[in-house]
Amino acid sequence: MVPGLVVCLVICTRLLVVAGARPPAMYVFGSSILDVGNNNYLPGAAVGRANRRYNGIDFPASSPTGRFSNGYNIADYVAAAKNMGFACSPPAYLSLAPNSSSGPLVLTALATGVSYASGGAGILDSTNAGNTIPLSKQVHYFGATKAKMVAAVAPRAVDAHLSKSVFLLGIGNNDMYVFAAAELARNTSAADQRRNAAVLYASLISNYSATISVQPSSIWPSQIIQKFAIINVGLLGCVPGARVLSPVGACWGRLNELAGGFNDALRPLLAGLARRLPGLAYSIGDSFGFTRDTLADPRASGFADVAAACCGSGRLGGEAECFPNSTLCDDRDRHVFWDRAHLSQRTAFLVARAFYSGLAKYTVPINFMELAQSS
């Protein structure tokens, strides 16, 4: 294990000893909005990675870590929030050599948690297949982690640990984008769009439900409570990479419509699961609504540019990813978007703060802090 990781684990463990009411760990599942480096370890030229500058320019030592950001991302700021007590997001699963000795993985899983999030991942296995870690495989990896924890400690102790931990989940963006892009390429009629969207939602909701309600004894904690902090699908049609499809740089309305429709289906799904699974506690953070409000009144949050990427190339910086030879903006904190598809570090901070302890309109039925403190 690298020395820095040892130091980080010791610090995080001490924080938990001091404040026993804090969650003992956080486990992260999702896409590039939460990825902290898993994609760095995936083979293939088509894999989306953020392990090159200017990514990470505002991270300590200006180091590209695999986060699709100029610095930290939403997972980092949720982990570092009040009453969570961690320095940043737990490390990427694939960085912990999970197929070798179980020591580093188990120690990390118990001390801070683990991140399984992967850039490009979808709820559906078919989304960006072969170039990411889909949600089903992320959950499989967590099951493997739990099995190693049980072997090292004891089943009841591990379940007690996990039942007090927070499971952060943010996924669905890529499923929406892949579907909308295919729809656009086929020039689908309005009637077919409605029918196809209904089929898509049914498939996504079915997979989402199966993920959360999987038999607790095999994957999730089998104790009293399972805490899911969920981030819904964002305002995808307004990212720079979507705006460049419009001659005037307008938001892609159809993509926003698809995202909003999925979010509308997500809320009753979680409410229904909570009624059916007495141990389930959850909070949904409204990324779609928060971004919509921010774009409508950017000055209230200190932003000057709500359309262009800080790092990119072409129109609005949205025609290519962030590369070492990309154009870099002067004031990154004044941009909502870091690159063609992702939020800047400052926006990520504001999102996490809103979900953790901000206005009630951005979370249902409770906020992330109330979820973390629930028992």
> What pLDDT digit, counting tens, does each position of 36-57 carry?
999 999 999 999 999 999 999 9
Residue 102's pLDDT band (boundaries 50, 70, 90)? low
**Tokens 């941009």 map to which residue?**
335
What's phi and psi for 213, nearest 5 deg? -100, 15
CATH number, domain containing residue 21:
3.40.50.1110
What would the mean pLDDT of 256-283 be, rounded to a whole number? 94
- What tens digit of pLDDT does each residue of 155-190 get? 889 989 999 999 999 999 999 999 999 999 888 788
Are the C-beta atoms of 224 and 211 separated by less than 8 Å? no
Is 335 labeled as catalytic in the residue annotation? no
- What tens digit of pLDDT does each residue of 20-31 get? 478 999 999 999
pLDDT score, position 219: 62
Q: How many domains in the chain?
A: 1
Is 32 labeled as catalytic in the residue annotation? yes
Beta strand 363-364 with 280-285 is: antiparallel
| CA-closest candidate to residue 12, choices 112, 79, 158 | 112
What would the mean pLDDT of 269-286 be, rounded to a whole number? 92
Is 297 labeled as catalytic in the residue annotation? no
Active-site residue, from 175, 286, 293, 339: 339
Helix (H) or strand (E) segment spanning residue 272: helix 253-276
How high does pLDDT run on average in the chain?
90
Are the C-beta atoms of 196 and 203 separated by less than 8 Å? no
How many Cα atoms within 13 Å fall on the side-chain side of residue 273?
22
pLDDT score, position 19: 41
- What tens digit of pLDDT does each residue of 330-346 get? 999 999 999 999 999 99
- What tens digit of pLDDT does each residue of 225-257 get? 589 999 999 999 999 999 999 999 999 999 999
Other CB atoms within 10 A of residue 78 CB: 30
C-alpha distances (whole Å) from 13 to each of 63, 126, 212, 348 are: 25, 38, 28, 25
Point out the least confidently predicted range of 132-141, 212-221, 286-295.
212-221
Are the C-beta atoms of 301 and 358 separated by less than 8 Å? no
Burial of 186: CB neighbours in 10 Å, binned 0-12, 13-18, 19+: exposed
Whether the predicted pLDDT of 92 surpasses 80: yes
Active-site residue, from 31, 32, 95, 115: 32
Per the structure, the complete domain to which residue 80 belongs is given by 3-373
C-alpha distances (whole Å) from 15 to each of 48, 84, 359 are: 34, 9, 27
pLDDT score, position 218: 57
Residue 214's pLDDT band (boundaries 50, 70, 90)? low
Amino acid at 7: V
C-alpha distances (whole Å) from 18 to each of 15, 25, 232, 270, 361 are: 5, 14, 33, 33, 32
Q: Which residues pair with 327 in a beta bridge?
A: 312
pTM for the model stands at 0.92
- Coil, strand, or helix at residue 312? strand
Beta strand 305-309 with 280-285 is: unpaired
pLDDT score, position 2: 35
pLDDT score, position 10: 40
Whether the predicted pLDDT of 9 surpasses 60: no
Percent of the chain with pLDDT over 90: 79
